[in-house]
Structures are given as structure tokens and as C-alpha cells.
């Protein structure tokens, strides 16, 4: 079997997605997600100009060799654009292998380690009462794990809080939105939010929260310590993680579990965090961290240190990533939780999928491959529409950490 074509499909059914379709001489094809939120066309060009031509004529069954070829062979290793492109190829090749062997991806990986995948949903509100109402709705829908984000009094805007009644969208059209940030206001307020959750709902649900890298290590330590009574499942991205040593300071002060890594691209981004046991959950996901071939390596390494997975699953990772991630989650022995934000209705139509949601858990389905396809004719009806993540500025105008 040989690869005869590799096409890049850019579409915006409610939000922008980049998809790679790898076609073989036997007509079997595989699909991979190549979406890098806000920088979509860079990956599309990297694939189109530099990767797709190199795939033609190769045996799609040599997944590991193609991965190594694209990673080592390019000379320029790592980085979000490169690793997202490699991930898309890898996901598509695993999809082909599943279709050729007639096996769902999770069986190729070693079979299910659990019956279904626990996912966490997003409860957001402009204030505490609204956030608690959204939390209650998630409980009614069967979620066992819920992330809560809330507007902070006297702060103009907060990332991760939806403007209407639905879930928030991680990118906005019409330029880069500027949001404000005050660590002091946030740190004074956010323990009250968790207290309110536990007061109203008790301790029966896993409570999660994302700090979006806004704190310094010592501020993160203070937050972790202050919220210990509310027993969070995790605090996510408390501080930027380029400096992996910074997490030692957090660890010295608090037992609140830490999740990091949605922006990571490779095992090198989290090697120290994992081997020094500075985190509890690794959030890297398939699309941005080199696909199944590489994420499996990260997860195996993490398992040596009892670090569990908590794959990023925001709506800017396409339904293709969701499908492949659910296969990965069903198999991976050291699974923690999977994020699930849902998708715009149009995206669900463009990407027919076998995965299903059922009362706070998901299953990838049992069709061969990862079980997600793309309706190209429908995709063509939604042209690319540039959108960007917002930025955060301190109240004096200083550009702050994402």
C-alpha cells in the first residue's frame, strides 16, 4: 500500500479547523487534525508546502518511521507548528491502520483499560450565582468532573467565561481582543468561588479550575494552599511552564494537585516536571504534541512517576482530535480525565463521528480507525475566517502572561 495523495482542508463551521486527509492507492484514507488556534494557516502551509509532497509513495503502515522521518529529518525539531503537522500525519496513519486491519484505534493500542472515559465540562458565569447555576446544570447532565471559571469583581473581563449562555469560544473574530488582569483581585476572589461550590453541592463532584498561566510560582503556591479545604481535582496552568523548576516552589507549599501542558509539544517540555513529580496531570494532547506516537511516549514516561493524563479538549481541537483522544484515553493505563467543551452544531455535521457522550462519560465507538470523517463538500461551504485568542494586560497596560 502506498500514499498517493495528502490534502489539507481548511474550514470554519462555527470555528476554524485544519484537517489533513491522507489517501492511499487502495482507496483507504485517514484523517488527522492539524488545528493550531489563531495560527491555523501556518500549519496548513507547513503541511502543504513541506510535508504532503514527502508523503507521496510512502507505505502508510510505517507509522513510526514516518514520524521519525518528519521529526528528525527536518533538522528543525519541536515547536507547535512542526509538532501539529506531524501529529496530523500520525493521526491519519493510525486511522488508516485501523481501517486496514478492521480494528478501532484503542484496540490497536492494546485494548480498553476502562469501560468509558470520564470527561469534564465547563461551568462558567459572570458572577458566582451564575457560575453555580451552570455547575448545577452540569451535575444534572451527569458530569462527575466540572471546571469552574467566573468573572472577578471589578475586573473588566476574564478569559474562559462565556459572554452569552453557551460555552465560551477560545478565539474571537475582528482582531485581537484585549482583556484585563489583576492577580490581587483574582487571588482575593477565587477561593470564595470554590467555597460556594462546596457549600452548595458538597464534595461529590471533581472540581477543576484553570488559572491560564497568570500567576507567579509563589502566587500559585499561595492559591494552592488557600484552596486546600475545597479539595480541587486540579488547578491548571498556575504559572507559565517554560521554567519547569518554578513548579518546585509551588510543590513546597501545597498539596493541591497541578495540571499543566496544553501548550506543550513534546516530551522535552515536561520531562523535568514529570521526573521530579512537580505535577499530577499532563495536559498535552494529540494534535499539538506529535500525535498518538508521541503522546503515548509522554504518557508511558509519566506513568513511571504516577502522573496521569488530562488531555486538552477545548473546542479548538477538532472533532477528529476528540475521536482519536478518546481512543487514547480508553486505552492509556494512567488516565486521569479528558476535557470536553462540546462543538458548534455545524462542526459536528462537517465531521461525522462515532464518538458519543453519555452522562459525563464518552466512548470513541467501535468503528475501524479513530471513527471520525470529514464531509468535504460541506466543509467547503464554511471558508476560513480569521480569529484570535485574546491577550491579557495588567490594569496599568502591561502585556501579561497567557
The residues carrying an active-site annotation are: 159, 212
Q: Using CA atoms, how far apart are residues 59 and 164, in angstroms rounded to an integer?
A: 48
**Considering beta carbons, is residue 115 or 242 the nearer one to ligand KDG?**
242
Q: Whole-number minimum distance, CB 355 to Mg ion, in Å?
A: 21
**Considering beta carbons, is residue 211 or 299 the nearer one to Mg ion?**
211
Q: Whole-number minimum distance, CB 314 to Mg ion, in Å?
A: 7
Q: Using CA atoms, how far apart are residues 33 and 18, in angstroms rounded to an integer?
A: 6
Q: Whole-number minimum distance, CB 298 to ligand KDG, in Å?
A: 18
Q: Whole-number minimum distance, CB 103 to Mg ion, in Å?
A: 32
Q: Which residues ranging from 12 to 41 are in contact with ligand KDG (CB under 6 A)?
A: 37
The answer to whether residue 169 forms part of the interface with ligand KDG (CB under 6 A) is: no
Cβ(117)–Cβ(103) below 8 Å: no
- Binding segment for ligand KDG among 91-99, 175-183, 312-320, 392-400 (CB under 6 A)? 312-320
Give whole-number Cα distances, 4 to 1, 20, 30, 153, 290, in Å.
Answer: 9, 13, 12, 57, 22
Exactly one of 33, 40, 95, 210 binds ligand KDG (CB under 6 A); which one? 210
**Considering beta carbons, is residue 90 or 262 the nearer one to ligand KDG?**
262
Cβ(258)–Cβ(280) below 8 Å: yes
Give whole-number Cα distances, 78 to 166, 280, 321, in Å.
Answer: 35, 24, 19
**Considering beta carbons, is residue 40 or 210 the nearer one to Mg ion?**
210
Q: Which residues ranging from 328 to 387 are in contact with ligand KDG (CB under 6 A)?
A: 339
- From Mg ion, ligand KDG, none, interface partner of 80 (C-beta below 5 to 8 A by class): none
Q: Using CA atoms, how far apart are residues 13 and 277, in angstroms rounded to an integer?
A: 40
Q: Whole-number minimum distance, CB 94 to ligand KDG, in Å?
A: 23
| CA proximity to 318, closest of 289, 290, 291, 350 | 350
CA diameter of the chain: 61
**Considering beta carbons, is residue 24 or 285 the nearer one to Mg ion?**
285
- From ligand KDG, Mg ion, none, interface partner of 30 (C-beta below 5 to 8 A by class): none
Q: Which residues ranging from 245 to 304 are in contact with ligand KDG (CB under 6 A)?
A: 262
**Considering beta carbons, is residue 42 or 389 the nearer one to ligand KDG?**
389
Cβ(106)–Cβ(324) below 8 Å: no
- Binding segment for ligand KDG among 22-30, 271-279, 299-307, 310-318 (CB under 6 A)? 310-318
Exactly one of 30, 121, 151, 170 binds ligand KDG (CB under 6 A); which one? 170
Q: Could you list the residues that contact Mg ion (CB under 5 A)? A: 210, 262
Residues lying near ligand KDG in the complex (CB under 6 A): 37, 170, 210, 212, 262, 312, 314, 316, 339, 389
Amino acid at each position: 500500500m502506498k500514499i498517493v495523495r495528502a490534502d489539507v482542508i481548511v474550514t470554519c463551521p462555527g470555528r476554524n479547523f485544519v484537517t489533513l486527509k491522507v489517501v492511499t492507492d487502495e482507496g483507504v484514507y485517514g484523517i488527522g487534525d492539524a488545528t493550531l488556534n489563531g495560527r491555523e494557516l501556518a500549519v496548513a502551509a507547513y503541511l502543504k508546502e513541506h510535508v504532503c509532497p514527502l508523503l507521496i509513495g510512502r507505505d502508510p503502515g510505517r507509522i513510526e518511521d514516518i514520524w521519525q522521518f518528519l521529526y528528525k529529518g527536518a533538522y528543525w525539531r519541536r515547536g507547535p507548528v512542526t509538532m501539529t503537522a506531524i501529529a496530523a500525519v500520525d493521526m491519519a496513519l493510525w486511522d488508516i491502520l485501523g481501517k486496514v486491519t478492521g480494528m478501532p484505534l484503542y484496540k490497536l493500542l492494546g485494548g480498553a483499560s476502562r469501560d468509558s472515559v470520564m470527561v469534564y465540562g465547563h461551568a462558567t458565569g459572570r458572577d458566582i450565582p451564575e457560575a453555580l447555576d451552570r455547575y448545577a446544570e452540569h451535575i444534572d447532565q451527569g458530569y462527575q468532573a466540572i471546571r469552574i471559571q467566573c468573572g472577578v469583581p471589578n475586573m473588566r473581563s476574564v478569559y474562559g467565561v462565556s459572554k452569552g449562555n453557551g460555552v465560551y469560544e477560545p478565539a474571537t473574530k475582528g482582531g485581537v481582543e484585549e482583556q484585563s488582569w489583576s492577580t490581587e483581585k483574582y487571588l482575593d476572589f477565587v477561593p470564595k468561588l470554590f467555597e460556594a461550590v462546596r457549600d452548595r453541592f458538597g464534595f461529590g463532584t471533581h472540581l477543576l479550575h484553570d488559572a491560564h498561566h497568570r500567576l507567579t510560582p509563589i502566587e500559585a503556591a499561595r492559591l494552592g494552599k488557600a484552596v486546600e479545604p475545597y479539595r480541587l481535582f486540579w488547578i491548571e496552568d498556575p504559572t507559565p511552564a517554560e521554567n519547569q523548576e518554578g513548579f518546585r516552589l509551588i510543590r513546597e507549599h501545597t498539596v493541591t494537585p497541578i495540571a499543566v501542558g496544553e501548550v506543550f509539544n513534546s516530551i522535552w517540555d515536561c520531562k523535568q516536571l514529570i521526573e521530579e513529580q512537580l505535577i499530577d496531570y499532563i495536559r498535552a494532547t494529540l494534535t499539538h504534541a506529535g500525535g498518538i506516537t508521541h503522546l503515548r511516549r509522554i504518557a508511558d514516561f509519566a506513568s513511571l512517576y504516577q502522573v496521569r493524563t488530562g488531555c486538552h479538549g477545548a473546542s479548538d481541537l477538532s472533532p477528529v482530535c476528540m475521536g482519536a483522544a478518546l481512543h487514547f484515553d480508553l486505552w492509556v493505563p494512567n488516565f486521569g480525565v479528558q476535557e470536553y467543551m462540546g462543538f458548534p452544531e455545524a462542526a459536528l455535521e462537517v465531521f461525522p463521528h462515532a464518538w458519543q457522550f453519555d452522562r459525563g462519560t464518552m466512548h470513541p465507538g467501535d468503528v475501524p480507525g479513530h471513527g471520525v470523517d470529514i464531509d468535504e463538500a460541506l466543509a467547503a461551504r464554511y471558508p476560513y475566517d480569521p480569529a484570535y485568542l485574546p491577550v491579557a494586560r495588567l490594569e496599568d497596560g502591561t502585556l501579561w502572561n497567557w
